[in-house]
Structure 1
Amino acid sequence: MKRGISFEIPNEYGSFLWEILIPFEITEFVWASGGEESYLVEDDKLQEPLFPEEINGMDGLLLKELLEENKYYLIFVNLQAYPKGKNSLLIETYEEFVNSNCQLVLLVVDSIYVTIYCKDKAKLEGLYQIAKLKSFNNLLYITDNNDTRTRLSVW
């Protein structure tokens, strides 16, 4: 069974989260983030943190505007999507993910390694196709047989 996808993005400034999440309909969800390390970029210089602190329940419209309208540098990211009106406490394991309201987990590690877990198989296919279209490196499905992750965390 397909659990998610993994791939590598360029180690540079950009709007990669926006590009990656286009097929996921960001505005339909509320989002949680552990406040990991990533920065807004202005005039090719790192500025304030993209996610300054742990966030539970960020409206999808606010996240869409943040990701679409800014340039940023990703180092570590942990984003989780929850249906509106549902509990948005951060989950840490695949088992918690399966048994929770969380619909998507997006992790970025060391600026380039992206892992996405998604419950909706049609949306997972859309995420795979956009990563393929963007020519992100080492794109592959994460399955029950090849998933080596023990925690859904960047730490």
Structure 2
Amino acid sequence: MKRGLTFDIPNTFGQFAADILKPFPISAYTWFIGDGEAYTDFKEDTDTDLFPQNQRIIEGHELRQRLEGNSYYMIFAELKAFPSGMVTEINTYEEYLKSPCELVLLIADCSYVSLYCKDPDMLEALYQQAVQCGFLDVDYVTDENDVRTRLSVW
């Protein structure tokens, strides 16, 4: 069974999370923002975090604005989409399956992407989007090849 996708994005400033999620209705969900590092700019003594550390839950319309606004550099990112008001903690794939979470986007070391999506049709659309964007090594994560033990970048 297909669980998700893996692929590589360029290690540079861009709007890659917005590109990845283009087929997904970002605004229709409440998002959990896990630990990560993502910057809109690299300037000392200024707050350039794409996701402020004190804001763990964000509404979809605000996330969409951030992702589609200025370019950013994602070193690590953990984004989880929940139906409105239904955010719960999930750490493993098994917890994800039992939760109301619909999508998990993980970005590690600036370019390695893991994406999990429960809706098979949406997963296919996300696959096609990754290919269309020219991302490298796009492949499905399946029950047989998933080596991830936690749905986290840390």
Q: Structure 1 length normalisation: TM-score?
A: 0.93
Segments of structure 2 that go 5 or more residues without pairing to the other structure are none
Considering only aligned residues, what root-mean-square deviation do their CA atoms show, in Å? 1.2
Aligned length: 151
Letter in 1 for 2:77: V
Aligned to 1:51: 51
CA distance in 2, matches of 1:2, 1:54: 34
**1:91-133 CA-partner distances (Å, limit 9, x unpaired):** 1100110000110000000000000000011111111000000
Within-5 A mapping of 1:21-36: 21-36=21-36
Distance 1:54 1:123, change over 3 A: farther
**8 Å Cα contact 1:8-1:136 kept in structure 2:** yes
Deviation at residue 54 of structure 1 after TM alignment: 5.2
Aligned to 2:112: 113
Identity of aligned residues (%): 48
**8 Å Cα contact 1:32-1:56 kept in structure 2:** yes
Q: Counterpart of 2:96 in 1: which secondary structure? A: helix
Deviation at residue 90 of structure 1 after TM alignment: 3.3
**8 Å Cα contact 2:6-2:140 kept in structure 1:** yes
CA distance in 1, matches of 2:89, 2:10: 27
CA distance in 2, matches of 1:57, 1:136: 28
Aligned to 1:125: 124
CA distance in 1, matches of 2:30, 2:70: 20
Aligned to 2:79: 79
**1:12-37 CA-partner distances (Å, limit 9, x unpaired):** 00000000001011001000011411
Distance 1:54 1:94, change over 3 A: farther
Aligned to 1:39: 39
Matched, 1:100 2:99: yes
Deviation at residue 58 of structure 1 after TM alignment: 0.9
CA distance in 2, matches of 1:133, 1:139: 10
Letter in 1 for 2:143: D
CA distance in 1, matches of 2:5, 2:55: 24
**8 Å Cα contact 2:27-2:61 kept in structure 1:** yes
Segments of structure 1 that go 5 or more residues without pairing to the other structure are none
Richer in strand (by share): 1
**8 Å Cα contact 1:93-1:151 kept in structure 2:** yes
Within-5 A mapping of 1:139-150: 139-150=138-149
Q: Counterpart of 2:13 in 1: which secondary structure? A: coil
Deviation at residue 48 of structure 1 after TM alignment: 1.1
CA distance in 2, matches of 1:132, 1:38: 24
CA distance in 2, matches of 1:85, 1:110: 31
